[in-house]
Amino acid sequence: MFLTTRGLVLREAKYKESDKILTILTAEEGKITAKARGVARTRSKLSAATQLYGYSEFTLFGNRGMWTVNEAESIEAFRPLREDIKRLALAGYICELLEAVSDEDCPEPEMLQLGLNSLYALANKLATRDVVKAVFELRLMCIAGYRPELEACAACGREDMDEGVLVPEHGELYCGECRRGGGLKVDRAVLSAMRYIINAEPKKIFAFELDGAAEERLASVCEAYALFELDRPFRSLDYYKNLRETEDDAI
């Protein structure tokens, strides 16, 4: 059978001399694994459209549970990412997270849209790396079923607070007066940004402003929350953090 679909290439693995095995996230079919024959050759007509982190239209042939790329046409390659090693590394983390939470044979339109919006914002510098990373992590957790309850304190119902604590185990928020144990500390600016992120329209998720220090705090909380819920390490995140440390040392 043949399938024509649009998808984002999340991962590639070399196979034989010139083939690749691609992991592609699609809206209709979810995560797909497909063989791309000859794409490692210089003159391959499919090489541009099967690049890692690229969004393309694919014509796939399915046989015995395995898909093969017959045709492919690039829609968006996010080329500016390849001019900045740190943004490219962050794109790798975004795609590794998408692969971790997406499913095969399950439509993932929201997840794909979030991934594309995040890569576009990252490539075109519509937001800082910290903001893109934080927005992606928190919004992805919402789509994956781990939406935190940030509207009010889970104990007293207080909505307006200067500081609070988000408890990842339950996804609940507590004001400073009600929480006595550990958790992720959030201040007014960070909480306001998180509330915006989980409720904003998909195309407006990056349309908020924070100062540099608040951006770092937001990034720290969203990362910690995502890693707790997924309960696994990500090599791409470690690589990105190493690059960031090098950047900080240079400053």
Residues in the chain, how many? 251
Q: State pLDDT tens for residues 5-48.
A: 999 999 999 988 889 999 999 999 999 999 999 998 878 999 99
Residue 251 has pLDDT above 50, yes or no: no
d(CA 142, CA 200): 12
Predicted model pTM: 0.94
pLDDT of residue 246: 80
Considering only CA atoms, which of 40, 60, 57 is closest in space to residue 49? 57
Residue, of 44 and 75, whose pLDDT is higher = 75
pLDDT exceeds cutoff 80 at 250: no
Rounded distance between C-alpha atoms, residue 54 and residue 70, angstroms: 17
pLDDT per residue as tens digits for the range 185-206: 999 999 999 999 999 999 999 9
- Cβ contacts of 82 within 8 Å, gap of 6 or more: 88
Please give the pLDDT value at position 248. 60
155 pLDDT more than 90: yes
